[in-house]
């Protein structure tokens, strides 16, 4: 009986501690304070699908692509989708900037973050470049990638393919301009 009570207590403590852990990728979001604005959700990884537009396997693939790129590049990318109930359409651009800042995408010293925000419900997306990233990827180049890589697939209602193609175009452009 004592063994069962001890085991149940241990299990309860372990499960409680496990459920409260931050599952964000190591060396990116870990150890950072995300409590500035309670209206901004907590990051769960490099890909945060708050709109539930990707399947689990698509989300894992996107996260893997970003994680691999972040390891080999001097730029850190994060992606989030937002349900239309989370943000108003006319404030989407400023909301994505707040999210990128609060999540601290990129390294502070280098300001090398790139944050992709998508809201399928509003049919809108925005890419926030850190100051360091903007030096190698202009707003005009970013808009061109959105228009030629993301949007054509989005118009076919294939958000995953558009996101993957768009991220690949961003990564190729960033890598080419850095060298």
- What pLDDT score does 24 carry? 34
DSSP lists the bridge partners of residue 80 as 48, 117
Angle between helices 159-178 and 56-72 (to 10 degrees): 0
Alpha carbon 168 to its chain's center: 15
Burial 113-129, CB ≥16 within 10 A → b, else e? bbbbbbbbbeebbbbbb
* Distant-in-sequence, close-in-space partners of 71: CB < 8 Å, separation ≥ 6: none
pLDDT confidence of residue 146: 97
Q: Model pTM greater than 0.75?
A: yes
Please report which residue ranges of 25-91 form alpha helices under DSSP H. 56-72
Q: In whole angstroms, what is the distance from residue 119 CA to residue 50 CA?
A: 9
Q: How far apart are CA 106 and CA 179, in angstroms?
A: 19
The model's pLDDT over 90-126, given as tens digits with 9 standing for 90+, comes to 999 999 999 999 999 988 888 889 999 999 999 999 9
Decide if 93 contacts 126 (C-beta within 8 A): yes
pLDDT in tens, 5-63: 333 333 333 333 333 333 333 334 434 454 578 889 999 999 999 999 999 999 999 99
- DSSP string across 162-179: HHHHHHHHHHHHHHHHH-
């Amino acid at each position: 009986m004592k063994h069962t009570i001890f085991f149940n207590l241990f299990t309860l403590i372990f499960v409680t501690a496990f459920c409260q852990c931050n599952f964000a990728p190591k060396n990116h979001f870990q150890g950072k304070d995300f409590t500035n604005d309670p209206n901004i959700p907590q990051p769960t990884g490099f890909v945060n699908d708050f709109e539930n537009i990707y399947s689990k396997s698509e989300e894992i693939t996107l996260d893997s692509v970003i994680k691999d790129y972040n390891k080999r590049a001097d730029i850190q990318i994060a992606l989030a989708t937002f349900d239309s109930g989370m943000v108003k359409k006319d404030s989407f651009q400023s909301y994505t900037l707040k999210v990128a800042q609060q999540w601290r995408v990129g390294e502070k010293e280098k300001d090398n973050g790139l944050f992709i925000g998508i809201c399928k419900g509003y049919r809108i997306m925005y890419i926030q470049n850190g100051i360091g990233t903007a030096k190698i990827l202009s707003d005009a180049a970013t808009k061109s990638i959105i228009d030629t890589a993301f949007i054509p697939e989005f118009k076919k209602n294939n958000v995953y393919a558009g996101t993957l193609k768009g991220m690949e175009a961003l990564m190729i452009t960033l890598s080419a301009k850095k060298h």
